[in-house]
Amino acid sequence: MTVGLVVVSHSRALAEAAVELARGMLPGRELAVGIAAGDVDGGLGTDATAIADAVTAVDGGDGVVVLMDLGSAVLSAETALEFLDDDQRARVVLSPAPLVEGLVGAAVVAASGASRDRVAAEALQGLAPKQAHLAG
């Protein structure tokens, strides 16, 4: 199994495009990634119960890293943890990484079979290449 990823965004289109970008790095590789984005009517918004469902769907037992955009996406991701049982909650990490950069970094190492903590650490490093490039 690989570590699961969940993308939480106010916008379904934004989440789907971010996943497409990450998958583009991994042609033919297996990646467990779920999306919880947009409100029930397809507008902008986040839904903690949808996040909890997405976590459960990608959780194969090796852990889940949740990446999110901003504002209420963060509050909703935290609220989602309340809907999980204790064992599953302990396997989930909410990543403070930037959504796009964090997702791409996390996806690459998750697809290689890395541990949850390694995937979460890679997500956090997501900004480093851009920062290094622009500082140079």
Partner 1 sequence: MAGAAGAAVDAAGLTAWVTEFARLVHEQRDELTRLDAAIGDADHGANLDRGMTAVVAALEGGPADDAAAVLKTVATTLIKTVGGASGPLYGTFFLRAAGALDGGDASAFAAAVRAGLDGVAARGKAEPGDKTMLDALTPACDALDAALAEGRDLPDALRAAAEAAAGGRDATVPLVARKGRASYLGERSAGHADPGATSAALLVQAAATALAGGS
Cα–Cα distance, 64 to 67 (Å, whole number)? 10
Using CB under 8 A as the binding rule, whether residue 117 contacts partner 1 is answered as no
Smallest distance, Å, CB 52 to partner 1?
Answer: 10
> Burial letters for 19-37: b for 16+ Cβ neighbours within 10 Å, e otherwise?
beebbeeeeeeebbbbbbb
| Contact between residue 69 and residue 10 where contact means Cβ atoms under 8 Å apart | yes
Helix (H) or strand (E) holding 45: none
Within 10 angstroms of residue 93's Cβ, the number of other Cβ atoms is: 18
Minimum distance, C-beta of residue 49 to partner 1, in the bound complex (Å): 6
**Residue window 67-106: x/- pattern of binding to partner 1, with contact defined by CB under 8 A:** ----xx--xx-xx--x------------------------
From the list 43-51, 55-63, 93-101, 118-126, the region that binds partner 1 by CB under 8 A is 43-51
Residues that bind partner 1 (CB under 8 A): 39-40, 43-50, 71-72, 75-76, 78-79, 82
